[in-house]
């Protein structure tokens, strides 16, 4: 079974909510990405989402744009990132999703990119700018490779299109909790409950809610309506503050553990 599907099945059996953590790959370098991935696994993060550095990340706010720039500056190309995923796999089975723009797949060759990702140990792709209506060949290649193709649903998505999107998605549905780009917010949207209910009317897939969740309190509030919570910019901001400091992994891990605890207070989290 795909690691993403397996993890969500386990969460459902245990009656727990999941945590998906996003970081920019190669920020500040790929060795830090490897170390953070292993630390997040130890902290009971359920899915790791790695942003593949790209020069024009149009879905991202300033925090993640700057992370992409730092990733590019550190030399984090797609082939080197896949080597890093393979290195993570030697020590961890944490489910991994690549958050990627289609231009990078096109440049690499879509079939080759998917095959290389599967070989490295990637479990799913979230291609930000590839709509389901144009994804027939991509979805067939993903199915053949055993990878989950994850799609976004936005607050402005009409119900008939929600139905189309979720029927073509696998792994989980990523609900963007607010309009606009990624970035931390002072409060969560009050439409999350109604929108997740609307999505659930059309699918049994888990629903992960992200964009703007910046604190343990916000994560807990969102988890009341979601199967999983996605925290990205708040973690990336911690990484930016640490840079190449020896405190990078411990400090970021402490922040991530605080979010895990808000979602799974009874979960025994290793102290290391």
Active site residues: 49, 60
Name beta bridge partners: 175: 153, 209
Burial 160-197 (b: 16+ CB within 10 A, else e): eebbbbbeebbbbbbbbbbeebbbbbeebbeebeebbe
- Residue 94 contacts residue 40 (beta carbons within 8 Å): yes
Phi–psi pair at 126, nearest 5 degrees:
-120, 100
Tokens of 183: 């970035």
Quickly list H helices, 151-232. 159-168, 192-200, 216-223
DSSP H stretches of helix in 90-176:
102-108, 110-120, 136-145, 159-168
Closest CA to 114 of 105, 126, 102: 105
Helices (H) and strands (E) in the chain, counts: 12, 9
**Residue 54 · residue 104 · CB < 8 Å:** yes
Q: CA–CA distance from 216 to each of 3, 92, 187 (Å)?
A: 25, 25, 12
Between CA 196 and CA 55 the distance in angstroms is 32
> What 8-state DSSP symbol labels residue 133?
G
């Amino acid at each position: 079974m795909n690691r993403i599907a397996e993890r969500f099945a386990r969460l459902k059996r245990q009656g727990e909510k999941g945590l998906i953590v996003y970081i920019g790959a190669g920020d500040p370098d790929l060795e830090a990405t490897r170390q953070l991935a292993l630390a997040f696994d130890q902290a009971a993060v359920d899915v790791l989402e790695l942003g593949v550095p790209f020069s024009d990340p149009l879905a991202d706010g300033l925090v993640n744009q700057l992370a992409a720039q730092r990733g590019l500056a550190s030399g984090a190309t797609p082939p080197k990132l896949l080597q890093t995923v393979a290195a993570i796999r030697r020590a961890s089975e944490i489910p991994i999703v690549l958050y990627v723009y289609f231009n990078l797949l096109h440049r690499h060759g879509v079939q080759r990119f998917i095959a290389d990702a599967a070989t490295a140990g990637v479990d799913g792709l979230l291609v930000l700018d590839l709509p389901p209506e144009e994804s027939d060949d991509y979805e067939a290649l993903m199915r053949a490779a055993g990878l989950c193709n994850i799609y976004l649903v936005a607050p402005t998505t009409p119900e008939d299109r929600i139905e189309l999107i979720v029927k073509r998605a696998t792994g989980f549905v990523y609900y963007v909790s607010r309009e606009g780009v990624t970035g931390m917010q002072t409060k969560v949207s009050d439409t999350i409950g109604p929108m997740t209910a609307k999505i659930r009317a059309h699918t049994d897939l888990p629903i992960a809610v992200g964009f703007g969740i910046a604190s343990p309190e916000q994560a807990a509030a969102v988890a009341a309506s979601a199967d999983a919570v996605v925290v990205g910019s708040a973690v990336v901001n911690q990484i930016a503050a640490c840079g190449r400091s020896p405190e990078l992994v411990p400090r970021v891990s402490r922040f991530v553990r605080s979010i895990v605890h808000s979602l799974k207070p009874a979960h025994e989290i290793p102290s290391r």
